[in-house]
Amino acid sequence: MEPSAPRVDPAAPLVILSPHLDDAVWSCFSLLARERDVLVATVFAGIPGGEPGWWDAQCGITDSAAHVRDRRSEDAAVLRSLGRAAVHLDLLDGQYREKPVPPDEIVRALAERVPAVRHVYSPGGIGHPDHALVRDAGALLRERGVPVTVYTDYCYSTREGWPTFVRPDGRPEADEQWRASIGRLVGDRLTQPRVVRLTDDESGRKLEAMRGYVTQFSNIEAEEPNWQVDGTGSADPEKRAVEVFYDLSAA
């Protein structure tokens, strides 16, 4: 019988459930810098076939299969430089598939590769359909007794600025963006997040790690100012130094 979820073991690693091959570094560098025994499990890391996906085509990629292999290699190298392990699940990124992936399929794929966890950090699903699917898988893990913390999806999470409950000068538009994505999951905790600020050294190391994703970094930095209300990219020193979490108990 296939496991319904990874078992909880205090001796097992903390697992960051990353939708794509870079999200853990963008959103959870504080965990990678500070926590013991962290493993990053990237959900949508499957090797595609056929024509390039829409984002690949926009970035000038003509061979998506070779591109994803390159992305896997750079992800493993970046995480290895931080003393962390990488696990790549074989589910396809949204640009390469026609249908959503059910949360149960994500949980099953995780349990097959990572049979035991100490704690899971799952995305809030802000701003991207793939992230929302992994958010729902995190909610299912919680229902099945796994301790879960929600992290907010940088830099989708700052497209409307910071919420008023993260910064005093935040924007109500950001409040609504976060509420629509994670309000049902975190409930009354929405306005009481755990805000972590990286040290200057950690922020610098985060930027170095972000740049290690050579296939992605320059394209993201070129694209994000078009979508961010403040017109800056993800490397912005003020924004990248702030990471936001919601600690949930098991259901």
Q: Give the pLDDT of the chain (251 residues) as one tens digit per residue.
A: 456 899 999 999 999 999 999 999 999 999 999 999 999 999 999 999 978 888 888 888 899 999 999 999 999 999 999 999 999 999 999 999 999 999 999 999 999 999 999 999 999 999 999 999 999 999 999 999 999 999 999 999 999 999 999 999 999 999 999 999 999 999 999 999 999 999 999 999 999 999 999 999 999 999 999 999 999 999 999 999 999 999 997 55
Walk me through the domains of the chain, giving residue ranges and CATH numbers.
Answer: 7-248 (3.40.50.10320)
The structure tokens listed for 151 are: 């992290």
Calpha distance 63→14 (Å, rounded): 34
Which conformational region is residue 127 in: left (phi greater than 0), alpha (psi within -120 to 50 degrees), or beta? left
Rounded to an integer, what distance in angstroms lies between the CA atom of residue 140 and that of residue 98? 23
CA nearest to 121, candidates 149, 140, 84 = 149
Q: Quick one: tokens of 62?
A: 């003509």
Pair of tokens at residue 80: 């290895």
C-beta of residue 207 within 8 angstroms of C-beta of residue 240: yes
pTM to 2 decimal places: 0.95
